[in-house]
Structure formats: structure tokens, C-alpha cells
Amino acid sequence: MSLAKISEQAPQKVSQKDYFSISFVLARVLNTGIIMSIEKNEKELKGLESTLSKLSGKKYVTLYNSFTAAIHGALWGQDIVHGSQATLAHSAAPQERKFAQWLGIELIEGLDQAYTVIDIDWQNLKDIDTLLKQHSQDKAIVVNFTGLSFGPVATLLTNEEPLYKKSERLKIFGAFDLRTMWTQTEQEFEIQPGVQFNYRLSPLVGACVKLSLLRRDKQDED
Amino acid sequence: MKTDFNHYLLDIPEETWAYEELAIDGGRAVLPREGRKTTFPNITKEDVLQMLISIQKQPEEVIQEFTDQYRQYVGANYAISTASGTSSLHLALIGAGIEPGDEVILPAFTFIATAQAVVAAKGIPIFADVDPQTYCLDVTQIEKLITPRTKVIMPVHVHGLPANIEAIQQICNQYQLKLVEDASHAHSASINGQLCGSLGDTAGQSLMADKNFPVGGEGGIAFFKKEEDYQRALNFLQDSGIDYDISWIAAAFGISQLERLPYYDAIRQRNAQHLIRTLNQTTLFQGPYIPEGYKHSFNMFRLQINVNLPAFAGIPPYQVKEAIQTILMEEGVFAREWQNVPIPRHLPFINQKGFGNQYPFSLYQEDELPYGLEHFPNTLEMLNTTLAICRELRSPVEYEKLLSYELAFKKLDQNIEKIATFARTLNVQPPYERDARLG
């Protein structure tokens, strides 16, 4: 059977000079036995959220298991939903436009740009601080780390609490634990969930992104 | 160094412990606190080595290697590995040809992802009650729910017991409907030797970390019988732009775990069958019912409580269950509710916001969706009178730990009057009116 490429964003290869570091961090996480994103003791995803919050200066961080998931979070968090209109950046990829249309959103010109995208790969990883600073005033920033080659992974950064709360509740288990998941009781109707996807990120992937971020200035030291 | 290695040595339990004072009354717990932890998935040197090998390959190559190996294991014709079980179910529904507004019949008792996948496919979930013995989709409820908009019947092999596929397939044939399996609990489960995931037109299966076959944290896989359904799912991914790719890291973990899956299955099967025999010898408990020719994978083990004993007369069944859960936990057995509200009473299905502006629920052509609790008496009865053992039996636990679990159940069986007395002191709400109670 031929290789089935199921998304438009082809995964890239891990940079050879990073084999050891990535292997080490993967082995370390595997040794703890905690690889489930809803595990109470899970530390890697919380660590990545904290790292991204510090880096960006944004109060709220939501992790996702793909670029389109983070876009969905950005849109849903701003009540840009089925039947709404939105304006995307001129540079928006065809995949973004197709996805927004699949969500039932009409793309028009002239509104405030719904979100900002920063694509990170091994070439520009060391510049992430600068890139984030350039967009520090933006309401919803989607940072796409898929180019780092660990698999689809992205984050939504914002200072807006309602946006954050809604975007978290778009994820199955996003704001709830094993006890409360079954009712998802919320006082505020506004943030109560509608359709939900499993956009949860694997801690193994999160650990690799976190390590890459922490050693971003050491790219050429080997 | 952080490690999940369990250094605690558990004593082999003695039968006389069953006659000692209950832990809740100050007696010794059958399972000491230090011995209660279970480890799963088991992560070994093979997993680490596979990761070191896979990191040097192209990501697509690792993913395809995993997909092909597991597809062949299941016996499916086509497969797409995905980021999660929910996304695999979404693709399975799309592959089956579901269009916006189409109705999908599924059980009211499952994980919310089954129903959310229907909404993600822009379909309308139509919930049926469960069978009172198997807790899977009640076949006798299906036909009255079929309308001209029905496209798919979506049984769930809940906890790992295969649904009655033969009967459901007959209905599908009669009404020209597609059969989409939710096989998320049913790794290696089978009917007459044919594995779940290969039984329906299409299937979705979760591979998250608390499943019997876990990949690296989060993952899933969709199976297809026909090439045209597989192709329809691939086309959808291109047309919608949605990124459901699995990480190669998760796939690499799946490659090494797959080699050990038969061992995990065998030890879980041994333990579960042993526990069923013990429970069925008690007055208070009964193990899960398994039809002839069916192989249960025991991702969860749901035990029934005999709430109709004379000692419990006049006590609401869920209050007896609450008492038993509390006493069992004191003895060291994590008996859980897992899921305690029928899916149609979960907030997303009460509100029906969908993708926003009530879409796709707005496409429903009748006045009101039949989502009220009164439609699901068997589900409510099950929630009132059963408890689930989850990770404790899913893990390949040692024989001495299994014996400890069994001894705890035997101990409770010796204390039925005390359980009744304790239950009378409780003031609890029915399970479906509150958050779930974990072990």
C-alpha cells in the first residue's frame, strides 16, 4: 500500500544534530511512565504552557495537537462560528481557508484579522522571542510548531480570559478532569461547550517541543 | 531519577482476611495503600530503542509502518492512523458517506467522543438505550429509531465487549444503512475470532494511553472495508483542510507496544476470567455477561451489584452502590463509576450549540430530539447498580494483586448486613445528577 499523506502540511525530518537531545528527552519521559495528557501527575504539557507563557508574555496558553486545531480554538474563542464572517491574513495558507470554510465561516475582507499565525521550524526557532514580540499586541496568536517535525502541534496565546476558556472547552477533557468530564457543569452559558474535538496534545510531543524551545539558542554549539 | 518502577512487594493474601473487620470500621485493608498503584502502559527498553530507530526515519515511513502492522493485526483492508480516537471516529463516519443532517443511531452509554464525532461529521446523534445484560447498543431499540434520514448505525463495543454485530448488520442490510464500529475499548476483542475494527463497513478506534493498546499518549486509527470509503475519508482530509495526522512519536511507540499486545491481552484475559469466577460465587456481586463466541477485551470490567437482596429492601439501589464503592475503596480496590450520565444529558447535547448557531442540530426535521432521561431506563438502571474496575484490571497485574482484589470482594460478601446499615446512613443523589465518583 502506498504512503497515505493525510494532510497538506508534510512532516519534516528531525534535524540530525538533534537526534541525541530529542532521544534523551523522549527516553526520560518514557521512564516516568506518564504519557497520558489527562494524567494528574503529567508535567510536560504544563511545563510547555509555562515556557510559552514566559516567552510570549501572554497570560493564557492552550496547546493543541495540530495547526488547524489551534485555528479552531482561536475562532471558537472569539465566537467566530458556523454562520459567522471572518477575515484571515492575506498570507493565510489554502489549508487555513479551506478549514475555516469547513467550519461554516464565510471569509470576507475588511474585518479585523481573526488571528495571527507564526510558523516555527528549525531555521527560525532561535528567533521566536523576536517573532512573538512583533505580535505582542495581537489578540489571538497561533504558533505552529509542526515544522519542528515532532508531529502536528500548535498553541494559542492570548491575554483574553473568555477566549482562553472557550478555546479550552473546545477540547474533550480540555477544562475538565476524569471526575467532572461527564457533566461538564458550567455556570456561564457563554463558555459552555458545543461540538468538541480531541485536540489534546501528547505529552511526548509536548516534551520535545519544550526541549527544543529551551535549547533554541544552542542550535550551532555541537 | 524519576521512574514508574514499582518497588513495593505485595504479600500473598490469606483467605482468613475475608473474615476480619472491614477497613472502614478500623480493620486492616486487604490491599495496603503502598500496593494499590498499577502501572500501564508498561514502558520497556524496547520502546526506548524503537524511538531511537524511528527518529532516524522519515515521519511518514514510521506512521505507515505502524498503520500497516496494526491494520494487518486487526484484519482490516484499509486504515488511516489519526491524532485521536475522536478523529478516527469522525473519519470512519465520513468514510461511511455521512452527509450534513444525516442521522446516526448510537448508544446512550459510551464516551462522549462517539457522539461528538457524529456532530463533527455534521450528523445528528440519535441515542438508543443499552442492552440490560451487555450494556452495548440494545438491538431491539434500533428499528423504531430509523427514519428516512438515518444513514449509519454506530454500535460501541463498550468496555471491550463486542456489540451484537450480527443482529445490527441484519438491520443495516434490511434498511441499506452503514455499520460504523466504535472499537475504542475493543483492542483484540472479537466475535468468533474476527477482531473488532474489521467487522463493520468502517470503524474508529482510540489508541490513547489508557487503552489496552496505547500509543504515545494520544492517537487513533480508522479502518475501512472498501477502498471507496477509505478514499472518501482521504478526500475529506484534503477538502476540509483539517489536520488529523498522528505524530510519528506516537506511531513509533505503537510499533513496539504492538509486539507485546498479545501478552497483555492474555494476562488480562486470565485475570478477568479468574475474577468473574470469584464474583459469581458471591451473593453480592456478578461479573460481566459475555455471549458465546465473544471475546471481551476488558478495557474496563463492569460488575453488577445484587441490589435486590432482602437486606437492601427499601434502600435506593444507587445508595447501596455508593456504600459498596466507599467500603471497597477503603479495602484498596478502586471501583469507579467511570461514566455516570447518559450522553444525551451531557451539556453539549442539552445545549446543542454544535459548530455554532445550533448547526448541525438545526438540520433536524422533527420538533425536538429525544434526549430526555426517560428514553434510557436500562442505562439508568446500569448506572444505579454497577461499578467499573478500570486500570486495575487493564494492567497486567500480578497474581497476588488479583487475589487481593478478589479477597476484598469476598470480604464485602461477608458483610452484607453492615453494608445495608451503612447504606441507610447515606444521603446521595442518583449518579446522573452529579459528577462521577472515581476510585
Q: What is the pTM of this model?
A: 0.96
Q: What's the one-letter identity of residue A44? A: E
The pLDDT value given to residue A217: 80
Flag whether residue B16 sits within 8 Å of chain A, measured between CB atoms.
no
The pLDDT value given to residue B220: 98
CA distances A90 to A75, A94, A115, B251, Å, are 17, 11, 12, 35
CB pairs under 8 A between A and B: 244
- Residue A149: closest C-alpha in chain B: B59
Does A4 have pLDDT greater than 50? no
CB contact under 8 A, A1 and B68: yes
Q: What is the mean pLDDT of residues A58-75?
A: 98
CB contact under 8 A, B353 and A195: yes
Q: What CA–CA distance (Å, rounded) separates B185 from A26?
A: 27
Does A5 have pLDDT greater than 50? no
- Residue A146: closest C-alpha in chain B: B247
Q: Please check whether residue B80 is in contact with residue B235, taking contact to mean a CB–CB distance below 8 angstroms.
A: no
Flag whether residue A41 sits within 8 Å of chain B, measured between CB atoms.
no
The pLDDT value given to residue A179: 66
- Which of B:190-249 have CB within 8 Å of A? 208-210, 214, 216-220, 234, 237-249
Query: Could you give the percent of chain A with pLDDT greater than 70?
Result: 88
Task: Give the number of other CB atoms < 10 A from CB of residue B173.
Answer: 10
CB contact under 8 A, A198 and B85: yes
Q: What is the mean pLDDT of residues A135-163?
A: 96
Residues in chain B closer than 8 A to A39 (CB atoms): 209
Does A11 have pLDDT greater than 90? no
The pLDDT value given to residue A18: 83
Q: Please check whether residue B413 is in contact with residue B283, taking contact to mean a CB–CB distance below 8 angstroms.
A: yes
CB contact under 8 A, B59 and A184: no
* Continuous segment of H or E residues that includes residue A2: none
Q: What CA–CA distance (Å, rounded) separates A172 from A197?
A: 6
Residue of higher predicted confidence among A139 and A220: A139
Flag whether residue A110 sits within 8 Å of chain B, measured between CB atoms.
no
Flag whether residue A57 sits within 8 Å of chain B, measured between CB atoms.
no
The pLDDT value given to residue A38: 83
| Cell digits of residue B298 | 476488558
Cα radius of gyration rounded to whole Å, chain B: 22
Listed residue (A115, A145, A147, A120) closest to A131, CA to CA? A120
Q: Please check whether residue B17 is in contact with residue B30, taking contact to mean a CB–CB distance below 8 angstroms.
A: yes
Q: What one-character-per-residue DSSP string does B299-357 give? A: SSEEEEE-TTSGGGTTS-HHHHHHHHHHHHHHHT--EE-S--S-GGGSHHHHH--BTTT
The pLDDT value given to residue B304: 98
- Mean pLDDT by groups of 10 residues along chain B of 439 residues: 86 95 98 91 93 94 98 98 98 98 98 97 98 98 98 98 98 98 98 98 96 92 98 98 97 96 96 98 98 98 98 98 97 91 94 97 93 97 96 90 97 98 96 74
CB contact under 8 A, A23 and B83: no
The pLDDT value given to residue B100: 98
The pLDDT value given to residue A37: 85
CA distances B54 to A31, B255, B349, Å, are 18, 10, 41
Q: What CA–CA distance (Å, rounded) separates A106 from B434?
A: 39
CA distances B218 to A1, A168, A203, B81, B157, Å, are 25, 17, 8, 11, 20
Q: Please check whether residue B124 is in contact with residue B99, taking contact to mean a CB–CB distance below 8 angstroms.
A: no
Minimal C-alpha gap between A216 and chain B (Å): 19
Residues in chain B closer than 8 A to A21 (CB atoms): none
CB contact set of A20 (below 8 Å; sequence gap of 6+): none
Residues in chain A closer than 8 A to B209 (CB atoms): 35-37, 39
Minimal C-alpha gap between A67 and chain B (Å): 7
Listed residue (B118, B108, B245) closest to A195, CA to CA? B118
CB contact set of B328 (below 8 Å; sequence gap of 6+): B335, B387, B408, B409, B412
Mean pLDDT, chain A, integer: 89
Flag whether residue B60 sits within 8 Å of chain A, measured between CB atoms.
yes
| Cell digits of residue B223 | 479502518
- Residue A93: closest C-alpha in chain B: B241
Q: From the centroid of its chain, how far is CA B177? A: 24
Q: From the centroid of its chain, how far is CA A205? A: 11
Does A177 have pLDDT greater than 70? no
- Which of B:138-157 have CB within 8 Å of A? none
